[in-house]
Amino acid sequence: VKELAPANSTEAIAQQIEDTDGDGWVRVEHRSQKTTIPFVKDNEFDYAKLTDWATDSPWAQFVVFALIVTFIVTAVSNGANLTDGMDGLATGTSAIIGMTLAILAYVSGNAVFSDYLNVLFIPDSGELVVFISAFVGACIGFLWYNAFPAQVFMGDTGSLALGGIIATFAIAIRKELLIPVLCGIFLIENLSVVMQVAWFR
């Protein structure tokens, strides 16, 4: 995460960063393990709390992080795959989710909006709006032929990719805690399949 800090600030001095531009501001780079739930008061969550037992073991922290990311990406990908059973459902849902993530990415990259809306400020995250906008455009273009009655189908390769892109983007802009809300239809589809398999087994 990159943040702007006064050139004479304690943080900048501690990291011995010079004001190369001469404008009184420097970029301070540091790692952050925090995330937030947007629009909620006292919404900060620190992932470091999950690894208090492994403070002296960076590898253990990496393993915990890898497991969390793997779970999120796998769950969303499979949810999108299962949702693809009905014409246009996965594509239309993914387009709506993408538009929401695009707005959140822009807000997160704007210091004024993020402070006002109580959203975690992530400098330069607004650049990701270009990527997610292309994703939404692709979904809408495909939806024209995938809506009922569908003329083309994306199959497992396409639906798994949709879920993977959504999950990865949400993690990149630190909005992974919103996935159960944003991907509610995917979640319901997952639960539905699990219950049906358990019932008819």
Indicate whether 125 belongs to any domain: yes
CA nearest neighbour of 164 among 37, 67, 72: 72
Indicate whether 5 belongs to any domain: no
Indicate whether 27 belongs to any domain: no
**Domain count within the chain:** 1
Where in the sequence is the domain holding 111, given as residue range(s)? 50-200
Whether residue 62 contacts residue 89, with contact meaning beta carbons closer than 8 Å, is answered with no
Indicate whether 62 belongs to any domain: yes
Helix (H), strand (E) at residue 104: helix 89-108
Indicate whether 152 belongs to any domain: yes
Indicate whether 20 belongs to any domain: no
- Give me the tens of pLDDT residue by residue for the chain, a chain 201 residues long: 444 443 343 343 344 444 455 555 555 554 566 777 766 777 777 776 777 776 667 777 788 888 989 999 999 999 999 988 777 889 999 999 999 999 999 999 998 998 888 888 888 888 999 999 999 999 999 998 888 887 888 888 899 999 999 999 999 998 888 898 999 999 998 898 889 989 887
CA nearest neighbour of 23 among 12, 7, 3: 7
Indicate whether 17 belongs to any domain: no
Indicate whether 69 belongs to any domain: yes
CA nearest neighbour of 66 among 47, 52, 82: 47
State how beta strands 34-36 and 44-46 pair.
antiparallel
Helix, strand, or coil (residue 119): coil
